[in-house]
Chains A and B, each alone.
Chain A
Amino acid sequence: MATLIDTPNIDDRDGFYQDLLAAHGGLDESQSHALNARLVLILANHIGNQQVLGEALDLAKNTGPA
């Protein structure tokens, strides 16, 4: 069964991070939220595995400020 990859998995991670910020360039906060929401749905569909998505949701919920 597939599990969430939480070890480094993008070769050019700095490049991706830059692309992500660039995608948000010039957007106001609500536009940024909307972009992120679309991105989440697109990536979730690409992953397509309920188990992996569940683990991703858990990881997101269990990180960040308490």
Chain B
Amino acid sequence: MPYTYQEFAYNTPPALRGEPDGPHQVAIIGAGPIGLAMAIDLAQRGVASVLLDDNNVVSVGSRAICWAKRSLEILDRLGVGERMVEKGVTWKLGRLYRGDAEVYNFDLLPEAGHQMPAFINLQQYYVEEYLIERCRQFPDLIDLRFKNKLEDLSQTGDGVRARFETPDGPYELEASYLIACDGANSTVRKSMGLEFAGTLFEERFLITDIVMKADFPSERRFWFEPPFHAGQSALLHKQPDDVYRIDLQLGWDADPEEERKPENVIPRIERMVGDRPFEIDWVSVYTFQCRRLERFVHDRVLFVGDSAHIVSPFGARGGNGGIQDLDNLGWKLAAVLDGSAGPQLLQSYDSERTYGADENILNSSRSTNFMSPKPGAESLFREAVLDLAAKAPFARLMVNSGRLSVPCVLDGSALNSADTSDLPAVSRPGASLPDAPLDGGWLLNRLGPDFTLLILNAEPRRVEGAQTVCVTADETMAERFLGAAEQAFYLVRPDQHVAARWTTFDAGAVAAALRKAKGF
């Protein structure tokens, strides 16, 4: 085993020791990467939470491994980004094969001037370990409770009452808000009887981690109809500690129980890696599903990550979508709790992140259709694209082995102010602010925890309700923020998304945009 699983201590909850317990501001259900990061985001904003999990170890198996640039930027804001990049396998090149011939390759971050790489591969258990250690740095703000299993919950009008089972018996807890970060099989969602509508694709993949000494480069490799796995698809990803992730398409008829057995897994892997010795670390069989809740906000219960939406893999849009959820929710919930915004601001979490989920579901459904075409026309056109790809450049881009997670641009959000000027599209209202080198560091690290007015090539200004950052734009910044303009003013939200921008300063316009971005 490449990773040693550490058991986290269970402590008798206060209520079962005869001590007061709450009422709490926020209860978070599920201490996976999303719940842990959620608690840290809130703690960094001064909001206390109690974080409860039914288990007491980090993720068993690597599970989510591909962390996208935007997630790394968010996790950097939360204090673990650099550590993840240091440990992770950095990659940006994807290579596509048909049979054993390369069809084409793509570079996910062709431009320089970003702190974070396009992607790293890092096992979910490491991410959770780092996040737990980070949580421990907020002993007064994060109350982490392992082996506290949610049994049921009810809304009380101004909060939520939830009942938990522990090794010492049951107890109840009250919180103003409850955040469900309890994954695809969310107990919160089920106990509220909410429909999780969507599509099940009739496809199964074998997913396995093997430990193997090999000199495979740090890139994503995807095969259509490889010689080692006839007629199906395969994916290879490199992880730290000589761990490789292999995904093999099995078809709908495969028996998951049988396929999980080592005697069936080993020959499949041997055909792929040849005579290199390897050990199997983890095996799972999964189906493709794209589903989401109709709404992510249900009065005082908020759904974040896989509890709210699930997508097929191959676009790395599950975990990375969840990270963008919590990034979106943290500052809004903090503002509602401290009274600087009304509860209606939470509705924008719902509208912005259902929009993000739909984008992820759209992309991952399209990838699934390409990877797993039905007989007839779907297979006919898949073959046509792959045949053409050998000769015609246009067809290479139609080959779809997953459209990898990119930051969601919140076009059309009610929090955006109208884009008043002719500035570059990449930094338009709704976009997450592009990073850029700045004074030997990075622009994103200079943004404040709350709203920031980024002033480029103009004299400093003071505005109520936002800290200001003044910079002289170099060539990279000019390209990302100015275009042909001489100067610009960007109002950036606490989650680093652009709320509004101008080429001239107008205090009234900034104040109005700030109010709009807070949901007023």
Cβ contacts under 8 Å, B385 to chain A: 41
Q: How many residues of A sit at the interface, in one of the four size bands?
A: under 10
Chain A interface, DSSP helix/strand/loop, else mixed: helix
Given the interface pairs A33-B380, A34-B380, A37-B380, the reply to whether A42 lies near B387 with Cβ below 8 Å is: no
Closest A residue to B394 by CB, please name it.
Answer: A45
List residues of chain A with CB within 8 A of the CB of B384. Answer: 34, 37-38, 40-41
CA distance A38 to B388 in the complex (A): 7
- Among candidates B380, B381, B383, B392, residue contacting A42 with C-beta atoms closer than 8 Å: B392
Tell me whether B511 is interfacial, beta carbon within 8 Å: no
For residues 1 through 56 of chain A, which have their beta carbon under 8 Å from a beta carbon of chain B?
33-34, 37-38, 40-42, 45
Interchain nearest-CB distance for A24 vs B (Å): 15
| Cβ–Cβ < 8 Å partners of B395 in chain A | 41, 45
How far is it, in angstroms, between the C-alpha of A61 and the C-alpha of B388 when the chains are bound? 25
Main secondary structure of the interface of B (DSSP, over half): helix
Contacts of A40 in B (CB 8 A): 381, 384
Q: Are A41 and B380 in contact (CB under 8 A)?
A: no
| Chain B contact patch, size range | 10 to 19
Instruction: Report how far A40 CA is from B381 CA in the complex, Å.
Output: 9
**How would residues 385 to 426 of chain B score, 1 for a CB under 8 Å from any chain A CB and 0 otherwise?**
101100010110010000000000000000000000000000
Number of A-B contacts (CB under 8 A): 25
Taking the closest CB of chain A, its distance from the CB of B391, in whole angstroms, is: 10
A35–B162 Cα distance when bound, in Å, is 62
Residue of B nearest to A33 (CB): B380
Contact with A along B475-513 (1 / 0, CB 8 A): 000000000000000000000000000000000000000
Cβ–Cβ < 8 Å partners of A38 in chain B: 384, 387-388
Whether the pair B383, A34 counts as a contact (CB closer than 8 A) is yes
A6 to chain B, nearest CB (A): 24
Q: Is A37 touching B394 in the complex (CB atoms < 8 A)?
A: no
Closest A residue, CB atoms, query B395: A41
CB of A58 to closest CB in B, whole Å: 17
CB-nearest residue of chain A relative to B397? A45
Residues of B within 8 A of A45 (CB): 392, 394-395
Q: Mind listing 10 A-B residue pairs with CB under 8 Å?
A: A34-B384, A37-B381, A37-B384, A38-B384, A38-B388, A41-B381, A41-B385, A42-B388, A42-B392, A45-B395
Binding site for B on A (CB under 8 A): 33-34, 37-38, 40-42, 45
B residues at A contact (CB < 8 Å): 380-381, 383-385, 387-388, 392, 394-395, 398
Known contacts A40-B381, A40-B384; can you find 12 more A-B pairs with CB under 8 A?
A33-B380, A34-B380, A34-B384, A34-B387, A37-B383, A37-B384, A38-B384, A38-B387, A41-B385, A41-B388, A41-B398, A45-B394
